[in-house]
C-alpha cells in the first residue's frame, strides 16, 4: 500500500539460432535507500550541519539567482544583504565549552529564523556569522525594522544547560544594486558595514556607504604599509617638554611617535596607533619606541641634566609577560636607573583583566618605574582602580585644560582631580596647555607639571636639547632664589 522508488531492468531472452526475443527478463530494484542518500547529500551540500540553516555555497547560488534580471521585466530587483555577527559568543565558547557554544548557536539560529520572512534566505556563513538575504524590500525602513528586530531577539538572554547567557549582535547591510552587483562585493561591503557597526559599540547596525569604503581602504593601506614602516626606517620619535609648574623648569619629556610613510606622507599617531593595536604591530613598534626613548634620555642625562625623566606611552597590548624583563634589560643596557622612565598607560588597561595587569604594574613600580594615567577623565566613570593599582601620576586630559580658566565645569574638574590625586599621594600633569592664563591657573591650583604648545610643540631630539639649554639659562635666577628659601 505504499509508493516506493524502483529501477526496472529489462533483458531480452533469445534462443540459440533465433533472431527475435522469445521472452523478457524483467527485474525490479528498490532504490529507496539510494534516493534517500542522494537527497541527504543534496541537503548536506546546501546546509550548515550544526544549525540546519543554509550554508555559504547555497547562499551564493541563491543570490546569483536573485541578481539575474527577472525575465523581461525592466523593474530591477531590490535585494539586501544583512551580515550578522554575534557579540560575546567567543567568550561563552571559550569559557563554557564547545558543547554549550553549539547549543547556543542553534538557539540563535532559531531566533533569527523567527525574524526572517519565508521568501528570504537565512544562512550561517562562519562560526558566529549569519547572513540574511532579503529578496525584495520596499523601503530601507523595512530593513531597519528587520535589523532592530534581530537585535532585540538576540538581546533576550539564552538559557542553555541550566545557564543564562547574554549575547548581542552587530549588523552590516549592503544593497543590490547600489553597493555592488556581484556576490563577493555585496558580502564584503555588508561585512565592512558590520565591522564599522561593531567599532561604534556593539549591538548596532549600519548601512554600507561609499565613505565607509574610503575609510576602510585607507585603513587597509595603513595596515599594509605599517608592517614595513619599522624596517624601512619610517618611524621616528619627537619629544615634548614636561615642565614643573612652580619653577617653570623642564623636568622631562614625553616621547611621541611619528610616521612618515613614503606612500601616504605623514600619518598621525591618532590614526595609525589604533591600527597597530588591532593588528598586534604595536608590540614590536612599542618595543622600538621604548628602546629609543631610553637611549635618548640616557644621553640627555649625561649631557643636559642628570634627573630628566622620559615618559613613554604604553599600549594595553604591550602589557604582557616579558614586559618587566624587557624594561629591566633596556634600562641596564642604557645605563640608567628606573627613575628615568615613566610609563603612560590608559584607563582602558586598568579595566582589563587585573590578574594579569596588576602583578606587572606592581613589579614595574617596585623596580622604581613611575606609572602615569594618560588622558585621565576621558575613559571610565569608575575610579575604584585608583586604589587597586600602583599609580604615581595622573595626566589631566587636554579637553579639560582647554576650558580653563573660564569654564566652570573645567575648573571644577581640574581642581577636583588635583585634590584627589594629592590626597592619594599622586602627582598631576596637565596636558595641552596653550595659554599663559591656563598655565597660571594650573600653577595656582597646585597642578604639579604641565605640558603643551605654550612651552613647546613636540620636537626632534636636537631641538629639545637646545630648548632645554636656553630655558635653563633663562630661569636660572628664580630657581636659585627658590633654592635659597
Ligand atoms: P597622548 O599620549 O595624550 O599625547 C599627547 C598628544 O597631545 C600628542 O599628540 C601631542 O602632540 C598633543 N599635544 C601636546 N600639546 C598640545 C597642545 O598644547 N594642544 C594640542 N591641541 N595638542 C597638544 P600626538 O603626538 O598626535 O599623539 C597622539 C596620541 O597618539 C598620543 O596621545 C598617544 O595616545 C598616541 N601615541 C603617540 N606616540 C605613541 C607611542 O609611542 N606609543 C603608543 N602606544 N601611543 C602613542
Ligand atoms: Mg601620552
Ligand atoms: Mg594624553
- CA contacts within 13 A on the Cβ side of 468: 26
DSSP letter string over 92-106? HHHHH-HHHHHHHHH
According to CATH, what is the number of the domain 229-484? Answer: 3.20.20.450
pTM as predicted? 0.71
Listed in order, the ranges of the chain carrying CATH 3.30.70.270 are 48-214
The CA distance from 240 to 460, in Å, is 9
Residue 91: per-residue pLDDT? 87
Write the burial class of residue 223 (CB in 10 Å: 0-12 exposed, 13-18 middle, 19+ buried): middle
Q: Which cell goes with 480?
A: 636659585
The CA distance from 16 to 13, in Å, is 10
Instruction: Among 3.30.70.270, 3.30.43.10, 3.90.1150.10, 3.40.190.10, name the CATH number for the domain at 48-214.
Output: 3.30.70.270
**Closest ligand 1 atom to Cα of 318:** 44
Report angle CA 150, 151, 155 to the nearest 5 degrees.
115
User: Which of 252, 253, 256, 267 to mutate for ligand 1's pocket (most ligand atoms within 8 Å of CB)?
Assistant: 256
Separation of CA 48 and ligand 2 centre (Å)? 48
The CA distance from 129 to 85, in Å, is 5
Q: Which cell goes with 368?
A: 622604581
Q: Helix or strand or coil: residue 400?
A: helix
DSSP letter string over 206-221? EE--HHHHHHHHHHHH
Q: Which ligand is nearest to the CA of 376?
A: 3
The CA distance from 1 to 8, in Å, is 19
List the beta bridge partners of residue 393.
372, 427
Separation of CA 397 and ligand 3 centre (Å)? 6
- Alpha carbon 206 to its chain centroid, in Å, reads 17
C-beta neighbour count of 410 within 10 angstroms: 19
pLDDT tens for the 485 residues of the chain, in order: 889 999 999 999 998 888 888 899 999 999 999 999 988 888 889 999 999 999 999 999 999 888 876 544 445 678 999 999 999 899 888 888 899 999 999 999 999 999 999 999 999 999 999 999 998 888 888 999 999 999 999 999 999 888 899 999 999 999 998 899 899 999 999 999 999 999 888 889 999 998 887 888 898 899 999 999 999 999 999 999 999 999 999 999 999 999 999 999 999 999 999 999 989 999 999 999 999 999 999 999 999 999 999 999 999 999 998 999 999 999 999 999 999 999 999 998 888 777 889 999 999 999 999 999 999 988 765 788 888 899 999 999 999 999 999 999 999 999 999 999 999 999 999 999 999 999 999 999 999 999 999 999 999 999 999 999 887 766 544 444 444 33
DSSP letter string over 296-313? HHHHHHHHT-TT-EEEEE
Q: Which ligand is nearest to the CA of 255?
A: 1
Residue 354: per-residue pLDDT? 79
Max CA separation in the chain (angstroms): 138
Q: Where are the alpha helices (DSSP H) in 337-460?
A: 347-351, 354-367, 385-388, 398-401, 408-423, 436-444
Q: Where are the alpha helices (DSSP H) in 316-407?
A: 323-334, 347-351, 354-367, 385-388, 398-401
Q: Which cell goes with 129?
A: 556569522
Sign of CA dihedral 49, 50, 54, 56: negative
Residue 480: per-residue pLDDT? 40
Separation of CA 374 and ligand 2 centre (Å)? 5
Contact 342, 311 (CB under 8 A): yes
Residue 481: per-residue pLDDT? 40
**Closest ligand 1 atom to Cα of 434:** 18
Q: Which cell goes with 288?
A: 622600538
Residues with a CB atom less than 6 Å from ligand 1: 240, 256-257, 268-270, 273, 286, 289, 313, 315, 344, 374-375, 398, 431-434, 452-453, 458
**Closest ligand 1 atom to Cα of 453:** 18
The CA distance from 408 to 107, in Å, is 52
Listed in order, the ranges of the chain carrying CATH 3.20.20.450 are 229-484
Residue 86: per-residue pLDDT? 96
**Closest ligand 1 atom to Cα of 238:** 25
Supply the residue whose CA is at minimum distance from atom 33 of ligand 1: 313
Amino acid at each position: 500500500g505504499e509508493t516506493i522508488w524502483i529501477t526496472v531492468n529489462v533483458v531480452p531472452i533469445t534462443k540459440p539460432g533465433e533472431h527475435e526475443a522469445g521472452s523478457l527478463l524483467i527485474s525490479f530494484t528498490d532504490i529507496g535507500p539510494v534516493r534517500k542518500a542522494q537527497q541527504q547529500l543534496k541537503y548536506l551540500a546546501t546546509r550548515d550541519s550544526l544549525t540546519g540553516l543554509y550554508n555559504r555555497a547555497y547562499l551564493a547560488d541563491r543570490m546569483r539567482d536573485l541578481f539575474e534580471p527577472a525575465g523581461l521585466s525592466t523593474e530591477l530587483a531590490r535585494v539586501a544583504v544583512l551580515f550578522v555577527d554575534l557579540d560575546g559568543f567567543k567568550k561563552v565558547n571559550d569559557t563554557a565549552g564547545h558543547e554549550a557554544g553549539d547549543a547556543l548557536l542553534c538557539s540563535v539560529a532559531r531566533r533569527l529564523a523567527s525574524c526572517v520572512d519565508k521568501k528570504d534566505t537565512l544562512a550561517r556563513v562562519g562560526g558566529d556569522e549569519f547572513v540574511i538575504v532579503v529578496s525584495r524590500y520596499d523601503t530601507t525602513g523595512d530593513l531597519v525594522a528587520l535589523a532592530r528586530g534581530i537585535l532585540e531577539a538576540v538581546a533576550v538572554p539564552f538559557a542553555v544547560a541550566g545557564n543564562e547567557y547574554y549575547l548581542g549582535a552587530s549588523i552590516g547591510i549592503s544593497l543590490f544594486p547600489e553597493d555592488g552587483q556581484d556576490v563577493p562585493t555585496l558580502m564584503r561591503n555588508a561585512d565592512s558595514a558590520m565591522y564599522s557597526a561593531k567599532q561604534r559599540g556593539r549591538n548596532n547596525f549600519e548601512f554600507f556607504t561609499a565613505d565607509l569604503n574610503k575609510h576602510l581602504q585607507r585603513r587597509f593601506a595603513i595596515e599594509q604599509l605599517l608592517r614595513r614602516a619599522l624596517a624601512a626606517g619610517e618611524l621616528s620619535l619627537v619629544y615634548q617638554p614636561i615642565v614643573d609648574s612652580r619653577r617653570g623648569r623642564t623636568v622631562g619629556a614625553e616621547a611621541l611617535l611619528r610616521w612618515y610613510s613614503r606612500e601616504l606622507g605623514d600619518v598621525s599617531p591618532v590614526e595609525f596607533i589604533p591600527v597597530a593595536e588591532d593588528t598586534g604591530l604595536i608590540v614590536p613598534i612599542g618595543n622600538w619606541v621604548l628602546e629609543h626613548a631610553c637611549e635618548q634620555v640616557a644621553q640627555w642625562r649625561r649631557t643636559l641634566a642628570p634627573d630628566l625623566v622620559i615618559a613613554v606611552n604604553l599600549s594595553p597590548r604591550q602589557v604582557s609577560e616579558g614586559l618587566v624583563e624587557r624594561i629591566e634589560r633596556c634600562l641596564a643596557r642604557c645605563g640608567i636607573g628606573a627613575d628615568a622612565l615613566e610609563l603612560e598607560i590608559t584607563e582602558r588597561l586598568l579595566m582589563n583583566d587585573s590578574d594579569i595587569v596588576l602583578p606587572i604594574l606592581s613589579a614595574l613600580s617596585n623596580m622604581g618605574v613611575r606609572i602615569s594615567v594618560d588622558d585621565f577623565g576621558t575613559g571610565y566613570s569608575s575610579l575604584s582602580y585608583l586604589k587597586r593599582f600602583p599609580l604615581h601620576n595622573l595626566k589631566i586630559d587636554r579637553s579639560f585644560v582647554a576650558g580653563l580658566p573660564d569654564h566652570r565645569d573645567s575648573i571644577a574638574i581640574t581642581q577636583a582631580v588635583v585634590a584627589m590625586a594629592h590626597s592619594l599621594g599622586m602627582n598631576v600633569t596637565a596636558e595641552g596647555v596653550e595659554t599663559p592664563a591656563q598655565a597660571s591657573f594650573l600653577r595656582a591650583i597646585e597642578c604639579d607639571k604641565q605640558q603643551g604648545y605654550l612651552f613647546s610643540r613636540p620636537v626632534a631630539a636636537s631641538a629639545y636639547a637646545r630648548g632645554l639649554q636656553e630655558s635653563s639659562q633663562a630661569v636660572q635666577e628664580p630657581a636659585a632664589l627658590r633654592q635659597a628659601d
